[in-house]
Amino acid sequence: MSSLDPSHVSQKPVETIHPDNLPEESRHPDVVAKALHALVEHSGKHENVAASIHAPMHRLLEMPYVSKLVPGIEQLAAEYHVGNYVEMRGTGERFFESMPVYPRLGMHLLFYGGAQVKVLHNQTVETVLKDLSIRQGKIYDSPESVKSIPSFIETYHLQLDDLLEPDITKYGTFNEFFSRRLKPDARPVQNEDDPKNICSAADCRLTVYPTIDLAKEIWIKGANFSIPSLLNVSPDSELAQTFADASLVVFRLAPADYHRFHSPIDGVVGEVVDIPGQYYTVNPQAVNEPGFDVFTANKRSVLYMTHAGTGKPVAYVAIGAMLVGSIVWTNGANKGSTVKRGDELGHFAYGGSTIVALFPKGLMEFDEDLVKNSQKPIETLMKVGYSLGKTV
């Protein structure tokens, strides 16, 4: 996401998203669904991503095309900053991430999810979001999509120095670039010599909670969030009991992030279980909203691993999101294989997405700075290999 100077952000409030915030003529979910459809189709025809789905909310006054689709949304952008704060690890510096237009519109539709409201050719909100996610994946899998790579790099100020292939003309599709690989030494594992250390699984914005109850109190406000619902198992199952009151890590990958994900532990790869679901946005405001259960409603894929040092299980939940085409396991698909901290497990196709890692009660002690930030609450900007804490 585009970042803004904190001093500039203080000049107007940060929006708490609500359906009534859009002008009355644009509130009906059908207006928003049609706008999202048009923006997705626009992304396949025009090379500038910032003029379609990635239009930054703080720049909508410069983008009449978006305002024409959702009349009055530019006024919302003029009155509020739309997005959230993130803190840099180590420096304590905070910056504001401006939300692109597509998750903001996705948030609006979330208020109508599960309802009998019909939109865009008499479909449910859930069907529309699924169809748009599949369509966006096809657009960015096409050879013509390479034309959007330069504007994506410019929009998100991406650095190419760490890429295994820094020549962007070598990528055959936008999605090939989106799931780009890094040089082998680009993400060193902190405290690699300490077998008790656990590391970040992704370049991400991160929150950690020693208990599920604390996570629900502070961050994950969905009324139906629970370990059984996240793992899609019975409450009296062995897995539900194993991870009862587990420690939890949320790794949120924004569109700008490197989208391959890695092992946080030294361990053994186990079974992968795919769980069908929705394609809601996983933006922090959606996670923090009591009426939404995005983590347990969305499409997800669970990798069960065994921690080498303790023999304890770890659940690694890759969660799809709005406009995410697929979850792809690479080394994570090799059941029975051994992985080290920082080894690649898989990647997401296009879109922002999330990983939730569960550690059995008493296994983990998180680094103090991450705990403090999460209790404020504010996400911490992390990279693959950064320390999360230690096993105890």
Dump pLDDT digits (tens) for 247-269.
999 999 999 999 999 999 999 99
Instruction: Give the strand pairing for 300-307 and 204-209.
Output: unpaired
Of the ranges 95-104, 128-137, 160-169, the best mean pLDDT one: 160-169
pLDDT of residue 2: 53
Residue 233 contacts by C-beta under 8 Å, 6 or more apart in sequence?
Answer: 239, 240
Answer yes or no: 347 catalytic: no
Answer yes or no: 58 catalytic: no
Q: Which residue has the higher pLDDT, 332 or 111?
A: 332
Q: Is the pLDDT of residue 325 over 70?
A: no
Domain spans of the chain, in order of start: 6-141, 197-391
Q: Is the pLDDT of residue 4 over 70?
A: no
Answer yes or no: 247 catalytic: no
Q: What is the mean pLDDT of the chain?
A: 93
Selecting among 52, 353, 374, 387, the annotated active-site residue is 353
- Span of 2-11, 223-232, 341-350 with lowest mean pLDDT: 2-11
What are the structure tokens assigned to 68, written together?
A: 């024409």
pLDDT of residue 237: 97
pLDDT of residue 347: 97
What angle, rounded to 10 degrees, do the helices at 125-141 and 29-45 form?
10
Dump pLDDT digits (tens) for 346-391.
999 887 799 999 999 999 999 999 999 999 999 999 999 999 999 9
User: pTM of the entire structure?
Assistant: 0.95
pLDDT of residue 118: 75
Dump pLDDT digits (tens) for 100-158.
999 999 999 988 876 667 787 778 999 999 999 999 999 999 999 999 999 999 999 99
**Separation CA 245–CA 267 (nearest Å):** 22
Cα angle 75-82-289, degrees, rounded to a multiple of 5: 120
Confidence of residue 3 (pLDDT cuts 50, 70, 90): low
Dump pLDDT digits (tens) for 213-245.
999 999 999 988 999 999 999 999 999 999 999
% of residues, the chain, pLDDT over 70: 96
pLDDT of residue 7: 46
pLDDT of residue 112: 84
In this prediction, residues 155-164 reach a mean pLDDT of 96
pLDDT of residue 197: 97
Amino acid type, 198 = I
pLDDT of residue 5: 46
Selecting among 203, 257, 266, 367, the annotated active-site residue is 203
Selecting among 262, 301, 307, 367, the annotated active-site residue is 262
Instruction: Give the strand pairing for 83-88 and 379-382.
Output: parallel
Smallest CA-to-CA distance from 347 within 179, 108, 106 is with 179
Confidence of residue 320 (pLDDT cuts 50, 70, 90): very high
Residue 238 contacts by C-beta under 8 Å, 6 or more apart in sequence?
Answer: none
